[in-house]
C-alpha cells in the first residue's frame, strides 16, 4: 500500500554514472538539468524526489581498478564518494545517491530477475558475438574485427553461456505502449529513432556474463553475474524501495533524464524488463543532447573534457547553471565555450539581473528610506502599469508553459526580455529625476513599486535555474516566505506589500574581466584532478570569492575591496578530525566575541592536539559552507606550499584574541 501524500509525487532520476572516472561538465549538465526540473516541479505543487548515483559494475570499472592497483570495490567506493561530494558541493545532490554495489540493490536485481524468470521471459543459451568493452554492449551488426559504430573502438569476439532475456517477445507490446503513450520518449527525434529500432525487430538480450567477475551474482548460478545494464537500470527502482516499492509510493518514476546515447537502454530494454516483471513502467524519458567541445562530444577517452570545479571556483555554480540552460536548447547538442559562458555571465547576470536588482533596491533605499513604496493610482499610471502588470499575467502563463515543456532556453530568454523591459522602463522614467520633483512623488512611488514587483516575479520565475541568487533578491525585497516553496500559480501581480522593509542592497553578480577569468579557469584546469577534487587546502570559501591558489593571474583590487574581508585573531579551543576526510579538521575557534566552528584542510600538516591553544588568523565574514556535511563558518589563513601542504599564518608578538587585521 502506498503512503497517501498531501501533494502529488514526482520522482525523477539522473543517469547512474560510471565510477571508472571523474565527472566532467557533460555529466554535470545532466545533474543540473535534473535539479532544475526538481526545483521547478516543487514550485508547481509536487512532492519531488530525485535520485542520482553510481553505476559501479562492469568491465570498465574492473579495468580501471586494476590499473590503479586496487580492488574494484575499494576503487569504486573512492570514486563514488567523489561524485557524491561534487554534487553536494554544487548543491545538486539528489534525495538519494544510489550505489549499485549497495546490498539493497543486489536484492532488488535478484528479485526482479526472478520475477522475469518466473514469468517465462528468461532462458539459458550460448552466444557468440562482437562485444564493445567500452560501451558494455554486444554490437549485433558488427562482424569479427569490426569497430564499434558508437565509439569507434575495436570490438572483441566473445562466446558465453548466458541467460537471455526474451526481448523479441516485447516488440509489439512496446510498439503498442509507445502508441498509447506518445509523450513517453522525448524529444520527438529520439522517439522516432527508438520506433525505427523497435520496428526493425528485437533480438533476445544476453543479461548475464561468465567472462567477468565484477558484477552482481546470479543466485545459484555461479559464475554468472548480471550484465551491467540489467543491473544499473534497476537502480532507479532500488532507490524507490526495491521489492517494497509500493510502500514508498514513488514508483513508477515520472521522469528519467538521460543523454541521447543511452536512450535505447531506457526506452526499450528497461520498459521491457518492467513489463516482463509485471511492474509499472516509468512515465517518461527525456534524452538531452551532448555538450561538445571543439565540435566533438566531450568525453574522457577523447581527452577534451572540461571539469566543473575550476569554473565553479572562478565564477560560482549559478553562472554555470544559467549558461547551460540558456545556451543549450534542451534535447539538442550544444557547444561549450569559456568565452560564451563568461560573456553570458557579464551580459545577462552582472549587467542584466544583478544590475536591475541593485539599482531598484538602491533607489528604494535612497528615496523611500528602504521601504517598498505605496503605488498610488495617479498620473502616469496608464503609461507603465499595464505593461508591468500584463507581464505578470502573460509571462507567468507563457513562461510556466515553456518550463512545462522543458524549453529552458526559451523560458530564460522570455524572463530576460522582462529584465530588459523593466530596465528600460527605469531608464525612461528616470526615477532619479522624479526624486527631485516633489510633485512627482506618487509617480516615483509607482515606478519603483512596479520595478520591485516585477523583480519579485522575475526572481520567482528564475528560481529553478538560479536558486541562490534569486533567494538573495527575494530576501533583499524583504520577503520571508521560503522562495523554493512559493507556488508559481500564486505569484500574481500586486502581492508585494507597500511598507515592507527591504534588506541591504548587495551585489549579486559582480562583473568580471573576461580574459582574466578564462585564464584563471584554464590555470585551474591544468592542476591535477586530485587537487581539484579535494576539499580546498585552507578551509571553506564561497566559490565566487576564491582566487585560485595556483592561478598565475592575480587580480588587482582597491582598498575598498580588501576592506570587505574581515580577519581576526582567533584562538583554537578544540580540534578533531572530520570522519572520512583525511585532510580536514573540525575546529572550534574563539574569535573574541564568539566561538566559531571552522572546517580547515590542515590535517596532513598538523595534528589536532598541536593546534589547541594556538593563535590563528581567521577570515570571519565568509558565507557558511558545508564540508563533508560539517558546517564551516570562516577560514583559517595559511600559506600553501607547492606540494599543497598548509603552513599556518601566526604572530611573533602576543596579540589579543579577536583583534582585527588590517
CB of 250 to ligand MSP, least distance (A): 16
264/291 Cα distance (integer angstroms): 19
- Interface stretch with ligand MSP, choices 11-19, 367-375, 497-505, 652-660 (CB under 6 A): 11-19
Burial track 106-120 (b if 16+ CB lie within 10 A, e otherwise): bebbbbbbebbbeee
User: Judged by CB under 6 A, which stretch of 24-32, 414-422, 426-434, 600-608 contacts ligand MSP?
Assistant: 24-32
Q: Distances from the Cα of 123 to the Cαs of 117, 162, 508, in angstroms?
A: 8, 8, 61
Q: Tell me: does residue 26 bind ligand MSP (CB under 6 A).
A: yes
One of 10, 11, 12, 17 touching ligand MSP (CB under 6 A): 17
**Shortest Å distance, C-beta 219 to ligand MSP:** 22
Among 142, 258, 617, 648, binds ligand MSP (CB under 6 A): 258
Residue 275 CB, nearest approach to ligand MSP (Å)? 18
Residue 259 binds ligand MSP, judged by CB under 6 A: yes
Nearer to ligand MSP among residue 135 and residue 429 (C-beta): 135
Closest CA to 388 of 454, 447, 442: 454
User: What's the CA gap between 101 and 80, in Å, rounded?
Assistant: 10
Contact 110, 116 (CB under 8 A): no
Closer Cβ to ligand MSP, 236 or 509, answer by number: 236
Per-residue x/- marks for ligand MSP, 298-337, CB under 6 A? xx--------------------------------------
Positions in 39-68 near ligand MSP (CB under 6 A): 55
The least CB distance from residue 18 to ligand MSP, in Å, is 4
Instruction: List binders of ligand MSP among 263-302 (CB under 6 A).
Output: 290-291, 297-299
Q: Please give, one letter per residue, the 3-state secondary structure of 203-262.
A: CCEECEECCCCCCCECCCCCCCEECHHHHHHCHHHHHCCHHHHHHHCCCCCCEEEEEHHH
Closest C-alpha to 349, from 461, 512, 476: 512
Place of cell 582574466: 516
Residue 18 in contact with ligand MSP, rule: CB under 6 A: yes
What element of type H or E holds 525?
A: helix 514-526
Q: Which C-beta is closer to ligand MSP: that of 16 or that of 452?
A: 16
Considering beta carbons, is residue 32 or 457 the nearer one to ligand MSP? Answer: 32
**Residue 74 CB, nearest distance to ligand MSP (Å)?**
19
Asked whether 292 and 275 are in contact (CB, 8 A), the reply is no
Q: Which is nearer to ligand MSP, 27 or 625 (CB)?
A: 27
CA distance 91 to 12: 17
For 291-315, give one letter per residue: b (16+ CB within 10 A) or e.
bbbeeebbbeeeebbbbbbbbbbbb
308's CB contacts (< 8 A; 6+ apart) are: 23, 24, 25, 28, 86, 90, 320
Interaction pattern, residues 219-248, with ligand MSP; x per rule: CB under 6 A: -------------xx-x-------------
Least separation in angstroms between CB 291 and ligand MSP: 4
**What distance in Å separates the CA atoms of residue 629 and residue 184, rounded to the nearest whole number?**
37
Closest distance between ligand MSP and the C-beta of residue 29, in Å? 5
Stretch that binds ligand MSP, among 21-29, 347-355, 401-409, 605-613 (CB under 6 A): 21-29
Cα dist from 7 to 42, 43, 47, 347, whole Å: 10, 12, 6, 39
Nearer to ligand MSP, 215 or 646 (CB): 215
Smallest distance from ligand MSP to CB 262, Å = 5
User: Measured between alpha carbons, how far is 622 from 339 in angstroms, rounded to an integer?
Assistant: 29
661 to each of 324, 557, 612, 615, 620, how far by Cα in Å? 40, 17, 21, 13, 11
| Closer to ligand MSP by Cβ: residue 300 or 475 | 300
- Closest CB to ligand MSP among residues 105, 596: 105
Q: How many residues bind ligand MSP (CB under 6 A)?
A: 20
Contacting residues toward ligand MSP, per CB under 6 A:
15-18, 26-27, 29-30, 55, 232-233, 235, 258-259, 262, 290-291, 297-299
Amino acid at each position: 500500500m502506498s503512503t497517501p501524500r498531501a501533494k502529488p509525487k514526482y520522482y525523477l532520476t539522473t543517469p547512474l554514472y560510471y565510477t571508472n572516472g571523474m565527472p566532467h561538465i557533460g555529466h554535470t549538465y545532466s545533474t543540473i538539468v535534473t535539479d532544475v526540473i526538481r526545483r521547478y516541479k516543487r514550485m508547481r505543487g509536487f512532492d519531488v524526489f530525485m535520485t542520482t548515483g553510481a553505476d559501479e559494475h562492469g568491465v570498465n570499472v574492473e579495468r580501471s581498478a586494476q590499473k590503479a592497483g586496487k580492488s574494484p570495490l575499494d576503487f569504486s567506493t573512492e570514486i563514488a564518494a567523489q561524485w557524491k561530494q561534487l554534487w553536494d558541493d554544487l548543491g545538486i545532490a539528489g534525495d538519494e545517491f544510489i550505489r549499485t554495489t549497495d546490498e539493497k540493490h543486489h536484492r532488488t536485481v535478484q528479485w526482479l530477475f526472478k520475477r522475469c524468470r518466473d514469468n517465462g521471459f528468461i532462458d539459458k543459451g550460448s552466444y557468440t558475438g562482437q562485444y564493445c568493452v567500452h560501451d558494455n554492449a554486444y554490437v549485433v551488426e558488427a562482424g569479427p574485427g569490426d569497430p564499434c559504430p558508437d565509439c569507434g573502438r575495436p570490438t572483441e569476439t566473445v562466446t558465453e553461456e548466458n541467460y537471455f532475456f526474451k526481448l523479441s517477445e516485447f516488440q509489439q507490446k512496446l510498439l503498442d505502449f509507445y502508441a498509447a503513450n506518445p509523450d513517453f520518449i522525448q524529444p520527438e527525434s529520439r522517439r522516432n529513432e527508438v520506433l525505427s529500432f523497435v520496428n526493425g525487430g528485437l533480438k533476445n538480450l544476453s543479461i548475464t556474463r561468465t567472462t567477468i567477475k565484477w558484477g552482481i551474482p546470479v543466485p545459484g548460478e555461479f559464475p554468472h553475474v548480471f550484465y551491467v545494464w540489467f543491473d544499473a537500470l534497476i537502480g532507479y527502482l532500488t532507490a524507490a524501495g526495491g521489492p517494497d516499492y509500493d510502500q514508498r509510493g514513488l514508483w513508477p518514476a515520472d521522469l528519467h533524464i538521460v543523454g541521447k546515447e543511452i536512450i535505447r537502454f531506457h526506452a526499450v530494454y528497461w520498459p521491457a524488463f518492467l513489463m516482463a516483471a509485471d511492474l509499472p513502467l516509468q512515465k517518461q524519458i527525456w534524452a538531452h543532447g551532448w555538450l561538445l567541445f571543439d565540435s566533438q562530444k566531450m568525453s574522457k577517452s577523447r581527452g577534451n573534457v572540461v571539469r566543473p570545479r575550476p569554473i565553479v571556483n572562478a565564477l560560482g555554480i549559478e553562472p554555470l547553471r544559467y549558461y547551460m540552460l540558456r545556451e543549450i536548447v534542451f534535447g539538442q547538442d550544444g557547444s561549450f565555450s569559456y568565452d560564451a559562458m563568461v560573456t553570458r555571465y557579464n551580459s545577462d547576470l552582472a549587467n542584466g539581473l544583478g544590475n536591475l536588482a541593485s539599482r531598484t533596491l538602491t533607489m528604494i533605499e535612497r528615496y523611500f528610506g528602504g521601504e517598498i513604496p505605496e503605488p498610488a493610482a495617479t498620473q502616469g499610471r496608464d503609461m507603465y502599469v499595464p505593461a508591468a502588470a500584463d507581464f505578470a499575467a502573460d509571462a507567468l502563463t507563457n513562461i510556466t508553459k515553456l518550463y512545462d515543456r522543458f524549453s529552458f532556453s526559451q523560458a530564460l530568454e522570455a524572463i530576460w526580455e522582462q529584465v530588459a523591459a523593466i530596465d528600460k522602463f527605469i531608464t525612461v522614467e528616470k526615477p532619479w529625476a522624479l526624486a527631485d520633483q516633489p510633485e512627482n512623488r506618487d509617480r516615483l512611488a509607482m515606478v519603483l513599486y512596479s520595478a520591485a514587483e516585477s523583480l519579485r516575479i522575475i526572481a520567482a520565475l528564475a528560481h529553478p535555474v538560479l536558486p541562490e541568487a534569486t533567494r538573495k533578491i527575494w530576501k533583499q525585497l524583504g520577503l520571508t516566505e521560503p522562495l523554493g516553496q512559493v507556488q508559481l500559480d500564486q505569484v500574481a501581480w500586486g502581492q508585494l506589500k507597500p511598507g515592507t522593509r527591504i534588506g541591504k542592497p548587495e551585489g549579486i553578480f559582480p562583473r568580471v574581466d573576461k580574459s582574466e577569468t578564462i585564464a584563471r579557469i584554464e590555470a585551474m584546469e591544468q592542476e591535477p584532478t586530485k587537487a581539484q577534487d579535494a576539499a580546498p587546502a585552507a578551509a571553506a570559501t564561497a566559490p565566487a570569492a576564491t582566487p585560485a591558489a595556483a592561478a598565475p593571474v592575480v587580480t588587482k583590487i582597491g582598498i575598498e575591496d580588501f576592506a570587505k574581508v574581515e580577519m581576526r585573531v582567533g584562538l583554537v579551543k578544540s580540534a578533531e578530525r572530520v570522519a572520512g576526510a583525511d585532510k580536514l579538521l573540525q575546529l572550534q575557534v574563539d574569535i573574541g566575541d564568539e566561538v566559531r566552528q571552522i572546517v580547515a584542510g590542515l590535517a596532513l600538516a598538523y595534528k589536532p592536539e598541536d593546534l589547541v591553544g594556538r593563535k590563528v588568523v581567521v577570515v570571519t565574514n565568509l558565507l557558511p559552507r558545508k564540508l563533508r556535511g560539517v558546517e564551516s563558518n570562516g577560514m583559517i589563513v595559511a600559506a600553501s606550499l607547492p606540494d599543497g601542504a598548509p603552513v599556518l599564518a601566526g604572530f611573533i608578538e602576543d596579540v589579543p584574541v579577536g583583534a582585527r587585521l588590517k
